[in-house]
Amino acid sequence: MRRFLALLARNRLALLGLVVMGLVVLLALVTPWLPLKPPNVTNTSDKFLPPFSEGALLGTDHLGRDLLSRLLWGTRLSLAVGFAAAAIAATLGAAIGVVAGYYGGRVDNVVMRGVDMLMAFPYILLALAIVAALGPGLFNALIAVAAVNIPFFARNIRGVTVGIAHKEFVDAARLSGLSDARIIVSEVLPNVVPVIVIAMSTTVGWMILETAGLSFLGLGSQPPQADLGSMLGEARSAHITQPHTSVVPGVMILIIVMAINLLGDGVRDALDPRLRSGALSRPMAATQVARDHVPPEPRAEGVLTLTDLETQFHVGKRTFRAVNGVSLHVAPGECLGLIGESGSGKSVTALSVMGLVASPPGVITGGSAQYKGQELIGARYGKLRQLRGDRVSYIFQDPLATLHPLYKVGDQLIEAIRVHHPVGRRAARERALGLLRDVRIPNPESRIDAYPHEMSGGMRQRVGIAMALANDPDVIIADEPTTALDVTVQAQILSVLSDLRRERGLAIVFITHDFGVVAQLCDRAAVMYAGRIVEQGTTEQILNHPRHPYTALLMKCVPELGAGRRRLEAIPGLPPAVDRLPEGCAFADRCPKVQPDCRAGEIVLRQVGDHAARCLHPVERAREEAAQ
Amino acid sequence: MGSYILRRLVSAIPVLFGITVIVFAIMALIPGDPATAILGSYATPENVEKLNRDLGLDRPAVARYFIWLGNMLTGDFGTSFSLNRPVLDEILERFGATLILAGTSFVLCALFGVLAGVVSAANQYGWADKAITFAVLLGISIPSFFLGMLMILAFAVERRWFPVSGMYAIYGGGGLGDLLRHLVMPATALAVVATGVVARLSRSAMLEVLRQDFIRTARAKGVHERRVIWRHALRAAMVSIIPVLGIQAGFVLSGAVYIEIVFQWPGVGRMLVDAILTRDILLVQGGVVFVAACYVLFNIVVDVAQSLLDPRIKT
């Protein structure tokens, strides 16, 4: 509760709403003791006095009644009716919802059918029907407004209750012999209260508006008693000549409803954990770049060369160093494997190249990425967009989420082509068919008009590959494209990629945590840990003679066919959190060979021939061989 | 698709049936003797008895309901005693006016609501987003009837840009131009709240969609950001926007009541208010059932639109 209030207070607009609402409620509460003229005493000789007249601060209405006094009394009435309606609707709606949700089955079915039926009515129409039956009057209007809001509460609360009714603690209470009534009161209700509060905070404004509306139509409060709505209704006849009589109550309704809405939004935000973390930010078209130093010159040749790349996530006051000075390069026709556990920064490295890291919270804070000598980090959006998908393209993991669910796969392929080449739809479709054939999709003529959800995982992954190939790119960055697939499909897809590399001289960066895939496809490999490259070399070197203990351990985790009864080992411990990286080697805490100097300051990537490792006490090649 | 529409129509039958039951049940709430309630306590016994007979009040409730339902199915909604003409004739004559008003408002709210929501989401936390968010807050907080009155003051009194009231000019009126001139202010006033609601929802739906993986795919393909927003993201967001549009259709259809009163628009809403004040029960019953039924049918249109948009819905 304290935390909730603190969150609410941090939201300045909600606080404003709270203050305004507090003032209005306070005014309404003390109205009977204020030195006001009686609200209903007519004095036709003083009718239509303008605002700021003597003795009538806001002027008078068509019967000479003091508007200020009527306004405050009217506010009091409107608030009372609005809150009463909200309380009634919440109580009855919650009761219905809890009963339906808790008992389920038949009860639930019958009750919710009725609720759906009521919701089939346009909202205000139902209120009108109820007032028509009961007759005009403020009390009847209150009942009508409360009644039409009951279904809304019932439906919301039922949903939450269904979730709670099957939780362990409710089962436990049932087993301990508590009665249903006791369980509902002691176990269910406390959990649905936040939902009731949210629902009330979002509807009480509507209810005040609706009661004002009914009174405005002459169906609510009856003269001489007046709430804000009927003040507005009475003022309508003289509206054009004496606007102040209608503007005064109208503005009051506006202020009240606006304050309630601000407050309601604040309450909702404070109670909704997703909004609290700011997770609902939209990623921008390209990752934000904020480099505070001049990007370094590339130190290696390649069609794609990354040098000292740094990408961070800024969440609140915390900084996660997802990519911490990564240098990589890949040559035409070459395949580079990028290996590491989940969270090691492989994907973020890959996405940084074309500015596809979600931003906010992602920021590229340093380094360079060059495609054929053109700098990509910090490049204009237009240039980046031109290269994306045309020269450098991506294959993503999980194609069910990465393909647009509402477009046919053919149209998505055609779009990929037409974004970069001004060809007609027909020609693009032919090309798309060719691409589907290239990735060995059977029956491409019929598959081209299928939606992603109509295809199998393997087929969708092929579509993802076809899309990446659409414009004959120079570089493909494949982010675990085979992880979600079974072994046979995986083998097929790898051979497709392998063929294409040979035929087209494609450079591939292949991200994976599977050494088998690396052995099959890659010429060179780089191993990442906690945002840095810890070892880099030819596939042969990495697989057969790993120097970094991490690589060696990682390989022991891989079950090997025909290797007999080797123990499958997991690396003990967890990778460090990248917002609190330790000094020295990030792997030190999990390393079997750790020495005191491992934790003392920066460790460089030491190059021996074309094999590099970031380790002070690397696995000795001789010992490795002796052990085997 | 044809069979889907047919199935949705069939599934609407129990809902329509339920609507008549609910309306009938509500009318049964009338306290005391309805005929006396309608005619007042000074009515002669003969008149009370005659009205009781006309309303069929001398029979049991269930029988009364089925007679009423049967009559309605044959197009007989009864006779309005205050207007002394068949209820259905009166409704049909006025429903066109309501439909023009509510229909225009609906188009306005769908168009500008979605537009504002998309612009707002695409510029999250930018000045456009802040301006739209503020306008939306104002829009959903102002009572439509008060807004209508303010518009009259602003645009129809000193600046005579638009007529104060009515649907056509009394002298020399008629024609589409005249109708449009009369329509601008009421349709706008009616649309404002719904536009705000749609804009709010569209914004959050777009923000939700823009975080999805397939948006990153579109960007990785090199699709221009404009197209990413207006095609890829909006198409996916529409799946959650369309049901809200359905709800807003009901809102403008019934909220037209206030606007019809403020602008003297000759529609069903004004008829209903008059009927309630004169306690013309048959007219109220008929009007409510008719409008609610139209709304149910419109929701079928919404469902069909949804199924056209989302191939994952089984048709």
3 state SS for A283-301: CCCCCEECCCCCCCCCCCC
Specify whether A117 is located in the same domain as A147: yes
In a domain, B9, yes or no: no
Q: What is the pLDDT of residue A187?
A: 83
Please choose, from the candidates A117, A120, A97, the residue with its C-alpha nearest in 3D space to the C-alpha of residue A108.
A97
Q: How far is CA A564 from the centre of its chain?
A: 46
Specify whether A607 is located in the same domain as A475: no
H-helix or E-strand spanning residue A198: helix A189-216
Q: Give B108-128 pLDDT, tens digit per residue.
A: 999 999 999 999 999 888 899
Q: Give A584-618 pLDDT, tens digit per residue.
A: 888 888 888 888 888 888 888 888 878 888 888 88
Specify whether A103 is located in the same domain as A192: yes
Q: How far is CA B280 from the centre of its chain?
A: 22
Amino acid code (one letter) for A107: V
Q: A628 to chain B nearest CA, in Å?
A: 44
In a domain, B170, yes or no: yes
Higher-confidence residue: A191 or B51? A191
Residues of A in contact with B28 (CB under 8 A): 133
In a domain, B244, yes or no: yes
Alpha carbons A251 and A566: distance in angstroms, whole number? 80
DSSP B126: S
Q: Tell me the residue range of the domain where A433 lies.
A: 326-526
Specify whether A430 is located in the same domain as A479: yes
Q: A229 to chain B nearest CA, in Å?
A: 9
A551-564 burial, b at 16+ Cβ within 10 Å, e below that, comes to bbbbbbebeeeeee
Compute the mean pLDDT over every residue in chain B, rounded to the nearest whole number: 88
In a domain, B197, yes or no: yes
Q: Give A300-357 pLDDT, tens digit per residue.
A: 888 999 999 999 998 878 888 899 889 999 999 899 999 988 888 899 999 999 999 9
In a domain, A343, yes or no: yes
Q: What is the pLDDT of residue A389?
A: 92
H-helix or E-strand spanning residue B11: helix B2-27
Q: What is the pLDDT of residue A34?
A: 84
Average of pLDDT values for A387-416? 91
Specify whether A564 is located in the same domain as A505: no
Q: Give A91-139 pLDDT, tens digit per residue.
A: 999 999 999 988 888 888 888 888 888 888 888 899 999 998 888 899 9
Q: B57 to chain A nearest CA, in Å?
A: 15
Q: Which of A496, A526, A556 is the last residue of a domain?
A: A526
In a domain, B41, yes or no: no
In a domain, B27, yes or no: no
User: Does A285 contact B219 at a Cβ distance shorter than 8 Å?
Assistant: yes
Between the CA atoms of A435, A437, A441 and A443, what dihedral angle is there, to the nearest 10 degrees? 120
pTM assigned to the model: 0.88
Instruction: Please name the residues between 238 and 257 in chain A that touch chain B, using a CB distance below 8 Å.
Output: 239-240, 243, 246-247, 250, 253-254, 257
Q: Which of A275, A309, A342 is the last residue of a domain?
A: A275
| A264 and A292 Cβ atoms separated by less than 8 Å | no
Average of pLDDT values for B226-254? 93
Q: Give A157-204 pLDDT, tens digit per residue.
A: 998 888 888 888 888 888 888 888 888 888 888 888 888 888 888 888
- How high is the ipTM of this complex? 0.89
Q: Which of A471, A494, A526 is the last residue of a domain?
A: A526
Alpha carbons A534 and A343: distance in angstroms, whole number? 15
In a domain, A305, yes or no: no
Q: What is the pLDDT of residue A277?
A: 46
Instruction: Please name the residues between 379 and 418 in chain A that touch chain B, using a CB distance below 8 Å.
Output: 381, 385-390, 393-394, 396, 398, 401-407, 415-416
Alpha carbons A194 and A3: distance in angstroms, whole number? 14
E strand map for A331-450: 335-339, 362-371, 374-375, 392-395
In a domain, A46, yes or no: no
Alpha carbons B89 and B96: distance in angstroms, whole number? 12
Beta bridge partners of A371: A304, A374
Q: Six-digit token pair at B239?
A: 């799946």
User: Which of A404, A407, A421 to mutate against chain B (most B CBs within 10 Å)?
Assistant: A404
H helix count then E strand count, chain B: 13, 2
Q: What is the pLDDT of residue B28?
A: 78
Alpha carbons A396 and A616: distance in angstroms, whole number? 36
Question: CATH number for the domain including A226?
Answer: 1.10.3720.10
Alpha carbons B260 and B99: distance in angstroms, whole number? 12
- As a whole number of Å, the CA-based R_g of chain B is 24
Specify whether A587 is located in the same domain as A456: no
User: Does A216 contact B258 at a Cβ distance shorter than 8 Å?
Assistant: yes
In a domain, A219, yes or no: yes
Higher-confidence residue: B55 or B123? B123
In a domain, B133, yes or no: yes
Question: CATH number for the domain including B247?
Answer: 1.10.3720.10
Specify whether A591 is located in the same domain as A622: yes
Of A122, A133, A356, the CB nearest to B292: A122
Alpha carbons A5 and A23: distance in angstroms, whole number? 18
Specify whether A231 is located in the same domain as A334: no
In a domain, A311, yes or no: no
Residues of B in contact with A213 (CB under 8 A): 143, 145, 257-258
Specify whether A508 is located in the same domain as A619: no
Largest CA distance in chain A: 114
Q: A574 to chain B nearest CA, in Å?
A: 27
Q: Tell me the residue range of the domain where B144 lies.
A: 87-314
Specify whether A474 is located in the same domain as A594: no
| A368 and A308 Cβ atoms separated by less than 8 Å | yes
Average of pLDDT values for A45-70? 79
Specify whether A127 is located in the same domain as A239: yes
CB count within 10 Å of CB B81 equals: 20
In a domain, A153, yes or no: yes
User: Does A213 contact B207 at a Cβ distance shorter than 8 Å?
Assistant: no
A50 φ/ψ sector (left φ>0, alpha ψ -120 to 50, else beta):
beta
Q: What is the pLDDT of residue A154?
A: 92
Q: Show Cβ contacts of residue A479 under 8 Å, excluding neighbours closer than 6 positions.
A: A346, A347, A350, A351, A394, A395, A396, A397, A511
Specify whether A337 is located in the same domain as A212: no
Beta bridge partners of A606: A613
Please choose, from the candidates A407, A405, A409, the residue with its C-alpha nearest in 3D space to the C-alpha of residue A448.
A409
H-helix or E-strand spanning residue A327: strand A318-330
User: Does B292 contact A209 at a Cβ distance shorter than 8 Å?
Assistant: no
Residue A259: pLDDT band with limits 50, 70, 90: very high
In a domain, B12, yes or no: no
C-alpha dist (Å) from residue A570 to A341, A527, A582: 12, 17, 22
Q: What is the pLDDT of residue A621?
A: 62
| A350 and A394 Cβ atoms separated by less than 8 Å | yes
Residue of A nearest to B276 (CA): A132
Domain count, chain A: 3
Q: How far is CA A179 from the centre of its chain?
A: 40
Q: Let me know if A374 is exposed, middle or buried by CB neighbors in 10 A (0-12, 13-18, 19+).
A: exposed
Domain count, chain B: 1
